A and B are shown apart, each in its own frame.
Chain A
């Protein structure tokens, strides 16, 4: 089901619309395994809709999305949830770490939801590689924004996904923090051999990636 060779993501003729307007129009997109891509565009061009469609969080009006060898529309809801958990790591602008759990538990839960064996050692190694091993037993509320950002990255990568999706990961950060967060995300995605797809309107990301896609607001 999972291929490291060839296209990690394969999109054709993607359209999503609401009653009176088209929210997203993308004719073709291919992302190779390990490749990193930034999707830029103004508000309302359908960036978030694209990300949600790729993650199977919404069913596009039309089009074909294939992740590895799997066509998303062929999956039943529960199977789609499992597929998402296993193959995607997602980072949002707001991080949504579960406040009732400590950092270690947040990561163990991500492993659990990815239907992987829960591996406390792997969790500690991941936290150590992001320089926050000492925060394993802290609650998200006691962390700084930068520390939380690292935890969110750790959570998106702990189950070794094939694709990491990031929605405006840097928009609320100042230049220094934005740079640092993006560098961490890119390095760790690379070290996990995951493809990375970032959608953002943050113009600071322009020119930072080897591949850029400019998404136009659909007519």
Chain B
């Protein structure tokens, strides 16, 4: 028998109370862990998809919508702009790189993006099979598209008009897959890339009153990278002063978005913190109640030769064991839930996150929670220390 064994046995002498307290602690811990992991990874995923994109030029409207639609492909576009207007800014000497995007069609819910091969370079995407397009209606598909839609080099598919699935298709003009990209863990995995010409050709034929002039070509957005950070001071303002286009900086719009989301996260965090504090009080109440019930047992331990510090230690150990049990359950639950969420998000949204990462904040949380367990046990432990054997034993006669 050791003090540890005794504390453990005492905990399981009252299994219902122990389980309830451990679960309370576990739920609070898991909530915090989930929020930490999700918050951290969400910010990282969001930042990674926007890497190398300093400014998005597109049709006037909501700047956040423009960023969401053209960087994350998560919203409908604000409209189209003329290629001429976009090219004017793309050729500005303050711009290092400009990538045109033309959206409008999709295949099985995956967006078909008319663009240049620079777009793949932006995410450091390499070809897994095949080659890039060299002619209209040739397409390169992202890794998730290839896997889920069953596309491989030489597959043929017809795009559907619109960004959802199940609408009118361009059956007469089938795309041919010429390449498949390696997985990048970015938004690219769920896109079908083709040349701008493909998109134009398709829609020129599709629209009955198409204009033959090249300069009437439209694109959805242009992704710009600055040649120097100084460009941020003047370029967005100049673009926004123009009549038909607007400029939106992903970093700025995202900060705004995360700020809004952050308010919600703060609320959830506060809720989780309340859960944990409740768990702390509940552990305190359980230990204190057990102490009252065990005063004679503690006196008996002293009769058997235990010292005051040993009794105090046994109570602290009990609090620490109970907390550790709850916290361990909570960490497992939190990471497990995150892993489940990651599996679902990757399958449904192509967002690659993980439940298997370990954040520095979790270590702080661990130490903090164990400290809270000790604190909850401190008063009962002190009472155990002060318990007077002779008066406890005689008080009962």
Contact = CB atoms under 8 A, between A and B. Distances in A.
Interface in B364-397: 389-390, 393-394, 396-397
Contacts of A100: 6, 9-10, 12-13
B396 A108 contact: no
B1 interface: yes
Contact of A113 (B297, B305, B390): B305
A75 to B, nearest CB: 12
A82 B302 CA distance: 9
Contact of A114 (B5, B296, B304): B304
Contacts of B9: 98, 100-101, 105
Given A85-B306, A109-B304, A101 B6 contact: yes
Contacts, number: 83
A96 B5 CA distance: 18
Contacts of B12: 100
B176 interface: no
Interface in B261-277: none
A48 B1 contact: no
B373 to A, nearest CB: 20
A169 to B, nearest CB: 13
Contacts of A78: 307-309
B113 to A, nearest CB: 67
Contacts of A113: 301, 304-306
Contact of B303 (A55, A93, A111): A55
A114 B305 contact: yes
Contacts of A114: 304-305
Interface string A49-89: 10010010110000000000000000001100110111010
Given A57-B389, A118-B1, A99 B13 contact: yes
Given A93-B397, A94-B296, A96-B297, A105 B1 contact: yes
Contacts of B394: 48, 52
Nearest to A93: B397
Interface residues on B, range: 20 to 34
A81 B300 contact: no
Contacts of A48: 393-394, 397
B307 A109 contact: no
B207 interface: no
A49 B305 CA distance: 18
A88 B300 CA distance: 13
Contacts of B13: 99-100
Given A57-B389, A92-B393, A98 B308 contact: no
Contacts of A105: 1, 5, 9
A162 to B, nearest CB: 14
B2 interface: yes
A180 interface: no
A164 B304 CA distance: 12
A86 B297 CA distance: 19
A52 B9 CA distance: 29
B395 to A, nearest CB: 11
Interface in B281-329: 296-297, 299-309
A72 to B, nearest CB: 14
Name the residue in A52, A98, A114, A118 with the highest tally of chain B Cβ atoms < 10 Å from its Cβ. Answer: A98
A112 B1 contact: yes
A115 interface: yes
B304 A57 contact: no
Contacts of A93: 397
17 contacts: A57-B302, A57-B303, A82-B307, A86-B305, A92-B393, A93-B397, A96-B300, A98-B6, A98-B300, A99-B297, A100-B9, A100-B10, A101-B9, A108-B1, A112-B2, A113-B304, A113-B306
Interface of B: 1-2, 5-6, 9-10, 12-13, 296-297, 299-309, 389-390, 393-394, 396-397
Return the 10 tightest CB-CB contacts between A and B, nearest first: A85-B305, A100-B13, A96-B300, A113-B305, A81-B307, A58-B390, A100-B9, A109-B1, A113-B304, A108-B1
